[in-house]
Amino acid sequence: MSRIVVTGCIPEVALEKLRAEHDVDAWTGPESISRGELLTRVAGADAVVSLLTERIDAELLDTAGPQLEAVANVAVGYDNIDVPACTDRGVIATNTPGVLTEATADITFGLILSATRRLSEGERLIRSGQDWKWGMFFLLGSGLQGKTLGIIGMGSIGKATARRAKAFGMRIVYQSRSTIASEVVAELGARRVELDELLATSDIVSLHCPYGPATHHLIGAEQLTAMKNSAYLINTARGPIINEAALVAALQEGHIAGAGLDVFENEPNVHFGLLELDNVVLVPHLGSATIETRTAMALLAADNALAVLSKQRPLTPIG
Ligand code: GLV
């Protein structure tokens, strides 16, 4: 029997799966586990099932000890994990791609619709108790039919977003590090372009790339200025891909029309400038937050940890 540390609350069905074979120490506090508590608990662990809120770095891996075999992240993004530090120590790191693709593409479209059709603004107005009535020019937004969606990062979530965009009658351009199968590109009617062209021609720019040194502040003042004044920026990937201060300035100065954000540069803190703007929709990192998806993510992470502990290849290793 091995010892598995789970760094936060995950669905019971996944915990049961782990407990059936191993000794499980799961943090169940209402707040995130503190760094000190986490370091105390990981000492002597054989596997860590981690949430994206916990930093898995060299210090933690060394505190865990040389018996540590697996770090199974319950997230597709793994910028919280120092993967080279895991590799150096022979620790296998895994993530949960695939199972959250549709939920994240759904919330991307929720943000696109909320931002372009001013849904949050309308709801705030009703809740404020202000007088209102139907009017020809009341809270006019912009439609999606015939508009261009620019997707940065054409992985599975980018493609799932593109499929939705196609159903809304949008044109799709994209930028991607990897080559996308020609039949997929043809099915979506998508066109690969350079970032400059994507920014200059898109009515909506949606971020779906991983976060790392190469994408830190990928969207800053220069890129925001390059976008159309009528365009919207959507982020369901990771907050620091956008320079948030530059975004606030661009929204204030009218360089772009609006934004929809599920993730933030200094999460869970939100730039105070964003809170004062009406043309930005803010949701608290809900991309994968459905019962079905979170259950599937936790089960996949559990299966990954169990596979490594039984010397099998995990289903979804990182890299
Ligand atoms: C959520 O943000 C994830 O990376 O799974």
73-101 burial by CB neighbour count: b if 16+ within 10 A, else e? bbbbbbbbbbbebbeeeebbbbbbbebbb
End-to-end CA distance of the chain: 28
**Catalytic: which of 21, 121, 197, 267?**
267
267 counts as catalytic: yes
* DSSP secondary structure letters along 217-246: TSB-HHHHHHS-TT-EEEE-S-GGGB-HHH
Give residue-wise pLDDT tens across range 6-44: 999 999 999 999 999 999 999 999 899 999 999 999 999
Q: What is the pLDDT of residue 225?
A: 98
pLDDT at 48: 98
Q: Is residue 242 scored above 90 in pLDDT?
A: yes
CB of 75 shorter than 6 A to ligand 1:
yes
User: What is the CA angle 234-224-178, rounded to 5?
Assistant: 60
Q: Are 203 and 148 in contact (CB under 8 A)?
A: yes
Instruction: Indicate the angle between helix axes 156-167 and 101-116, nearest 10 degrees.
Output: 50
Q: What confidence score (pLDDT) does residue 315 get?
A: 98
pLDDT of amino acid 7: 98
Question: In the structure, what pLDDT confidence band is assigned to residue 311 with cuts at 50, 70 and 90?
Answer: very high
pLDDT average, residue stretch 293-304? 98
Q: Which of 288, 293, 295 has most ligand 1 atoms within 8 Å of CB, for mutation? A: 288
- pLDDT at 206 exceeding the cut of 90: yes
Could you give all domains of the chain from N- to C-terminal order, each with its CATH number?
3-98+291-309 (3.40.50.720), 101-282 (3.40.50.720)
* pLDDT one-digit tens code per residue, 262-292: 999 999 999 999 999 999 999 999 999 999 9
What pLDDT, on the 0 to 100 scale, is given for residue 319?
A: 84
Average pLDDT over residues 61-77: 98
Burial of 131 (0-12, 13-18, 19+ CB in 10 A): exposed
Annotated catalytic residue within 41, 118, 208, 238: 238
Q: What is the pLDDT of residues 138-159, one digit of tens each?
A: 999 999 999 999 999 999 999 9
Whether 77 is in the pocket of ligand 1, judged by its Cβ within 6 Å, is yes
Residues 206, 123: Cα–Cα separation, whole Å: 24
Would you say the pTM of this structure is higher than 0.85?
Answer: yes
pLDDT tens digits, one per residue of 86-111: 999 999 999 999 999 999 999 999 99
